[in-house]
Amino acid sequence: MEIQLWRELLVPYELAVQELIVKFEHMIKQYQQAGLYSPIEQVHGRVKKISSILAKAKRKGISNDEIKEKIDDIAGIRLICQFVDDIDQVVEIIRNRSDMTVLNEIDYIHQPKASGYSSYHINISYEVMTIYGNIRIPVEIQIRTLAMNFWATIEHSLKYKYQGNMPLEISQRLMASANAVRALDGEMSSIRDDVVDAQQLFREKAVMVADILNNLDNLHKQYASSEDAIKNIQEEFQRIYDHGTLDELQEFSQRLDRLAANRNTQSLTSV
Ligand code: 0O2
């Protein structure tokens, strides 16, 4: 196939990848804005390079005409989670989406590949709108932890370097490090609740502080003539931010909200 035809063939795959990246990134943003823990930490996506498609087709004995229907990871999305437990939640989210039809799932987490590779794969069919009409594109979604991703990235580079002739010593080391990744993910799972709590508190505080700064900024504009009162509020904020509890910060934030809503100088002095 000519290079121009390949480019045309890949256009809807690029659209699918771009749309899905936006959707999953937006999901992270929504969790963050709601002050909630996001089971997805990072989103990556790519359309397979033409050379890799051809190499895979050759490796699997697939003819050029069969590539579109038989290679199901031309469009690929990778969702990286912090903890193994998050993966189940992400799988559930995908299963429940009305814009993604699950075609099949492979659990390389409970049954890692011989190489040591572990990840959860979901193949979906995703509809994109093109100038020629709507087309359903197969997309492979790989869901894995940060640790699994680290291992897979290193192993992928070594596999590429040795082109199928990986020295036994290297593959044994990779297998040992795959076991170490599993142990690390297991350890991290056992302290997941503590980590999630700590991150949650940090996020709540960040959202609250952003709110407070926004209100202070508005008060500055509204009550430019009451410099002293504003100064007092700022000092109180600084004291609570430096030494106060999250509850005190929340109570202060609510007072500022009320003040911003009241919009009268009398309440300013009573803050
Ligand atoms: P790339 O460059 O990442 O796109 P297979 O015949 O097992 O190679 P198959 O049947 O297409 O692959 O399905 P599978 O097992 O779901 O693998 C698809 C993708 O999963 C691979 O794409 C890799 O991205 C990843 N993967 C699978 N096995 C391994 C592994 O042992 N190590 C690493 N690092 N990644 C793996 P590609 O086309 O192989 O590569």
**Number of structural domains found in the chain:** 2
Q: Residues 232, 122: one domain?
A: no
In a domain, 174, yes or no: no
Residue 265 is predicted with a pLDDT of: 47
Residue 66 is predicted with a pLDDT of: 92
Q: Residues 136, 26: one domain?
A: yes
Q: Is the CB of 78 under 6 A from ligand 1?
A: no
Q: Residues 25, 148: one domain?
A: yes
Q: Could you give the percent of the chain with pLDDT greater than 70?
A: 96
Does the pLDDT at position 109 exceed 60?
yes
Q: How confident is the model at residue 181 (pLDDT cuts 50, 70, 90)?
A: very high
Residue 172 is predicted with a pLDDT of: 93
Q: Which of 167, 186, 206 is the last residue of a domain?
A: 167
Q: Residues 266, 157: one domain?
A: no
Which atom from ligand 1 is nearest to the alpha carbon of 46? 4
Q: Which of 167, 185, 220 is the last residue of a domain?
A: 167
| 3-state SS record for the chain | CCHHHHHHHHHHHHHHHHHHHHHHHHHHHHHHHCCCCCCCCEEEEEECCHHHHHHHHHHCCCCHHHHHHHCCCCEEEEEEECCHHHHHHHHHHHHCCCCCEEEEEEECCCCCCCCCCCCEEEEEEEEEEECCEEEEEEEEEEEEEHHHHHHHHHHHHHHHHHCCCCCHHHHHHHHHHHHHHHHHHHHHHHCHHHHHHHHHHHHHHHHHHHHHHHHHHHHHHHCCCCHHHHHHHHHHHHHHHHHCCHHHHHHHHHHHHHHHHHCCHHHHHCC
- What's the pTM? 0.82
Q: Residues 106, 228: one domain?
A: no
63-84 tens-digit pLDDT = 988 999 999 999 999 999 999 9
Residue 263 is predicted with a pLDDT of: 60
The CATH number of residue 123's host domain is 3.30.460.10
Domain region containing 137: 3-167
Determine which residue's CA is closest to atom 6 belonging to ligand 1.
Answer: 60
Which atom from ligand 1 is nearest to the alpha carbon of 155? 34
Q: Could you give the percent of the chain with pLDDT greater than 90?
A: 62
In a domain, 9, yes or no: yes
